[in-house]
């Protein structure tokens, strides 16, 4: 099964108010194992970069000025995404920006049925716990010491590890990596079999066994069950 883990960086919180996507990072998983295939791009938002947004991801208007527009790489991005499920943390946010950018360049939106939200998965798995990416990395022992700022590709790499843990743990990937497809299907499928009831087998002691047991009891001096007499 192919899945894409992705993250975005933006100029703000709401594409309906003119905010734009400035970075996207995508990681390919096949059967919960990273293949090494990635898509990563910066985009010129053709607008200013608010100071509060730059403080989060460190991407300045000057840095982005010579980067391609989203429309220039949209076809390449869509080819990488294919028809796979798309996994993101607080996925509604990332889908909102992705589809807003696609709309601006006259392309069809990505169907929301493909959306997998790791915040929702974590809320079910860990009710009442902190659900930020940092908190989940800490919970699962995932090293994030190199994450000094938000970055789309780095965050997608961390999220890929979190997603594997949320959906069964590292052992799934270790055991199934490189396995034939039929073995993977067998390993991830629960098979229900009809329970067969068989009549009880005879288990009474034979006459010889009973006689041997009685002789053994006769040889015990002052048994407890007779009061020790």
Higher pLDDT among residues 72 and 219, named by residue: 72
Q: How confident is the model at residue 109 (pLDDT cuts 50, 70, 90)?
A: very high
How do residues 117-158 score in pLDDT, each as one tens digit?
999 999 999 999 999 999 999 999 999 888 767 899 999 999
Q: Where are the domains of the chain?
A: 2-187
How do residues 76-91 score in pLDDT, each as one tens digit?
999 999 999 999 999 9
pLDDT at 179 over 80: no
Q: Give catalytic residue positions.
A: 150
Contact 27, 2 (CB under 8 A): no
pTM of the prediction?
A: 0.73
What is the per-residue DSSP string for 170-220?
HHHHHHHTT--HHHHHHHT-PPP-PPPP-PPPP-PPPHHHHHHHHHHHHT-
Contact 101, 146 (CB under 8 A): no
- Using alpha carbons only, give the angle 118, 121, 127 rounded to the nearest 5 degrees: 120
- Residue 143 marked in a binding site: no
pLDDT at 10 over 80: yes
Contact 39, 75 (CB under 8 A): no
Contact 164, 116 (CB under 8 A): no
Q: Identify the residue whose tokens are 């807003």.
A: 100
Is 2-187 a domain of CATH 3.30.420.10? yes
Q: What would the two tokens of residue 70 be?
A: 């989203």
pLDDT at 213 over 90: no
For CA atoms 152, 12, 82, 33, the dihedral sign is positive
How do residues 11-33 score in pLDDT, each as one tens digit?
999 999 999 999 999 999 999 99
Strands 2-10 and 86-88: parallel
4 DSSP β-pair partners? 28, 86
Contact 130, 111 (CB under 8 A): no
Q: What would the two tokens of residue 184 be?
A: 């993977």
- Residue 72 marked in a binding site: no
For CA atoms 61, 63, 68, 70, the dihedral sign is negative
Contact 27, 35 (CB under 8 A): no
d(CA 67, CA 175): 41
């Amino acid at each position: 099964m192919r899945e894409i883990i992705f993250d975005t960086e933006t100029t703000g919180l709401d594409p309906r108010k003119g905010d734009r996507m400035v970075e996207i990072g995508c990681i390919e998983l096949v059967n919960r194992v990273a293949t090494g295939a990635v898509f990563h791009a910066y985009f010129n938002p053709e607008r200013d970069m608010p100071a509060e947004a730059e403080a989060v991801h460190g991407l300045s208007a000057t840095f982005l000025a010579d980067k391609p527009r989203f429309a220039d790489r949209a076809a390449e991005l869509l080819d990488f995404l294919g028809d796979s499920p798309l996994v993101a943390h607080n996925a509604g946010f990332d889908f909102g920006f992705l589809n807003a950018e696609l709309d601006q360049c006259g392309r069809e939106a990505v169907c929301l049925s493909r959306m997998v939200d790791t915040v929702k998965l974590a809320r079910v798995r860990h009710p009442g716990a902190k659900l930020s990416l940092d908190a989940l990395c800490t919970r699962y022992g995932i090293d994030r010491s190199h994450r000094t700022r938000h970055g789309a590709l780095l965050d997608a790499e961390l999220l890929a590890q979190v997603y594997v843990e949320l959906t069964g743990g590292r052992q799934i990937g270790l055991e199934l990596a490189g396995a034939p497809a039929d073995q993977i299907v067998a390993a991830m499928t629960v098979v229900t079999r009809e329970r067969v009831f068989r009549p009880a087998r005879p288990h009474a002691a034979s006459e010889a066994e009973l006689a041997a047991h009685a002789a053994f009891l006769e040889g015990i001096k002052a048994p407890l069950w007779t009061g020790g007499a």
